[in-house]
Amino acid sequence: MQPKAIPSMLSMVPSLFRGVGLDDLERIKAITRNAYPSFPQLGTHELASWMEEADTAPLLIDVRSGAEFDVSHLQGAVNLSSVEAIAGRLRHPKPQRVVLYCSVGFRSSRIASLLAAQGLDGILNLEGSIFQWANEGRPVFRGPQRVHQVHPYGPRWAGLLKPGLAAGC
């Protein structure tokens, strides 16, 4: 993580006490870009396009906890939350396109930077991650079934999701 990202991260402190809102997702995306400037961010529109084509479909890795993944995830995603598990999967053989995501993109960017330090490059982060994906009305799944809610990570983070999308809130 880049030290220059610290001031923008601190700007989120008031939001964390009051709870975050939809407008804060853009700020979190900017914080993520500042914290991990060398790590490429992939937009949701581009990922949706890739997912429509069998020859360009990436390996989607959901780095959230198993409990978060069980509520919903992107179609075809695998749930690997440790650097070691992801590194092991990418070495045998490494898929052409790899996209990591989490709730908002910060955890997945952090993991991607740790993977890059191990020599695993060419990994993309889904900017805004599953929260942005769901907010745009894109499909999320629980197993093979399409659902309409996402694990909010925690009660204070539910405000980053449009009304009705946060599971259990």
| Cα atoms in the Cβ-side hemisphere of radius 13 Å centred on 143 | 1
Cβ 38 vs Cβ 73: under 8 Å: no
Give the residue, 134 or 97, on which the prediction is more confident.
134
Partner residues linked to 2 by β-bridges: none
Domain contains 8: yes
Domain contains 88: yes
| CATH number for the domain harbouring residue 7 | 3.40.250.10
Cβ 92 vs Cβ 109: under 8 Å: no
Residue 14 has pLDDT above 50, yes or no: no
Domain contains 25: yes
Domain contains 53: yes
Note down the domain range covering 126. 3-160
Cβ 79 vs Cβ 62: under 8 Å: yes
Number of domains in the chain: 1
SS (H, E, C) 38-69: CCCEECHHHHHHHHHCCCCCCEEEECCCHHHH
Residue 83 has pLDDT above 70, yes or no: yes
What percent of the chain has a predicted confidence (pLDDT) above 90?
73
Domain contains 154: yes
**Euclidean distance between CA atoms 152 and 149, whole angstroms:** 9
Cβ 41 vs Cβ 125: under 8 Å: yes
Give the residue, 38 or 66, on which the prediction is more confident.
66
**Euclidean distance between CA atoms 160 and 64, whole angstroms:** 16
Residue with tokens 């179609």: 75
Render pLDDT for 46-82 as a digit per residue (tens, 0 to 9).
999 999 987 778 999 999 999 999 999 999 999 999 9
Domain contains 168: no
DSSP state of 154: S
Dihedral angle over CA of 84, 1, 108, 65, nearest 10:
70
Domain contains 110: yes
Domain contains 70: yes
